[in-house]
Amino acid sequence: MHHSKGPGVPFPPPFVFVLGFAVGALLQRVWPLPVIPGGRSAVALMLAWALFLLGGGLVAWALSLFWRARTAVMPNRPASSLVLVGPYRFSRNPMYTGLTGMYLGLAFWLNALWPLLLLPLVLLLLWKAVIQNEERYLSTAFGDSYADYCRRVRRWL
Structural domains of the chain, count: 1
Residue 40's pLDDT band, with cuts at 50, 70 and 90, is confident
- DSSP for 98-151 reads HHHHHHHHHHHHHT-HHHHHHHHHHHHHHIIIIIHHHHHHHHHHHHHHHHHHHH
Q: Is residue 51 part of a domain?
A: yes
* Tens of pLDDT, residues 86-131: 999 999 999 999 999 999 999 999 999 999 999 999 999 999 999 9
As a whole number of angstroms, the distance between CA 81 and CA 49 comes to: 34
* Domain carrying residue 125: 41-74+81-152
CB 100 within 8 A of CB 123: yes
pTM beyond 0.95 = no
* Domain contains 21: no
